Amino acid sequence: MLEDFIEKVKENKVTALLSLIIAGLLVSFHLLSQTPQPNKNQLPAIVSSGKKHSVSSVSQKETDKSPSSSGKITVDIKGAVKKEGVYTLSSQSRLNDAVEVAGGFTAEADRKSVNLAQKLSDEAVIYVAFKGEDISVVGKPDNSQNANNSIDTEQSDKINLNTATLADLQTISGIGEKRAQDIIDYRDSNGGFSSLEDLKNISGIGDKTFEKLKDMVTIE
């Protein structure tokens, strides 16, 4: 009887031990299955994002360096100014700005030889004549150069309808403050003048007045 009891106790110990082992294995398997796995797509996505950012940065730098976005122009100013030379200015600069950076006029400068309100363009050459100087023969240029100088001088004497200020327009013979304001209002409302004939669209400027004005203005 005692022997049977001892055998049953031994069997129960073995069963209990096996149960503990199985339970331990199940718990271990459960814990391992809950461990977060690394996202295989995560690292490539970050790297890819980095590459895109890098390309974007390079593209932005190239855009910033482009002449069109720099807002700068380079002009060469000569003649009766204190500091002749090549200067870099804002793309919105006028001839007066170029004279200022060149130190201003000399005492011998013929200020009437230039239009200080003229808007400058990139690579422009500005020559300020000396008093009593015939700028058509400065440096004794050849005929083609002389022709170009004559054209430039003629154009600089004209008032640009698309850029002129109220004061500029009033320097035109026959244009008072009201008419000058009408010209500016028309320009602002219509996006500028596409031809000189557009002047006829302004009240008070008919064919006869237009004939008097057309040689004193330009749209270029």
pTM, entire model: 0.35
Q: Are 180 and 169 in contact (CB under 8 A)?
A: yes
Q: Report the chain's terminal Cα–Cα distance, integer Å.
A: 127
Q: pLDDT tens digits, residue range 2-43?
A: 566 566 656 667 677 777 788 888 877 777 776 555 555 554
Which tokens is 125 given? 């050459």
- Dist. CA 29–CA 52, nearest whole Å: 42
Rounded to an integer, the average pLDDT of 209-218 is: 90
Q: Under CATH, which architecture does the 69-133 domain have?
A: Roll (3.10)
- Dist. CA 29–CA 149, nearest whole Å: 94
Phi, then psi, of 27 in degrees rounded to 5: -65, -45
The matching CATH number, chosen from 1.10.3720.10, 1.10.150.280, 3.30.450.20, 3.40.50.300, for 160-218 is 1.10.150.280
Q: Would you kindly state where each structural domain of the chain is located, as residue ranges?
A: 69-133, 160-218
Average pLDDT, the chain: 77
Residue 155's SS3 state is: helix
What separation in angstroms does the CA of 206 have from each of 55, 164, 175, 199, 209?
58, 21, 13, 8, 5
Q: pLDDT tens digits, residue range 85-131?
A: 999 999 999 999 999 999 999 999 988 888 999 999 998 999 898 88
Tell me which amino acid residue 109 is. Answer: A
- Max distance between CA atoms of the chain, in angstroms, equals 147
State the pLDDT at residue 2: 57
Asked if pLDDT for residue 200 goes beyond 80, the answer is yes
Helices marked H in the chain — which ranges?
Answer: 2-34, 42-65, 67-70, 95-101, 143-157, 166-169, 177-190, 207-213
Residue 88's SS3 state is: strand
CATH topology match: 69-133 vs 160-218: no
Rounded to an integer, the average pLDDT of 165-180 is: 88
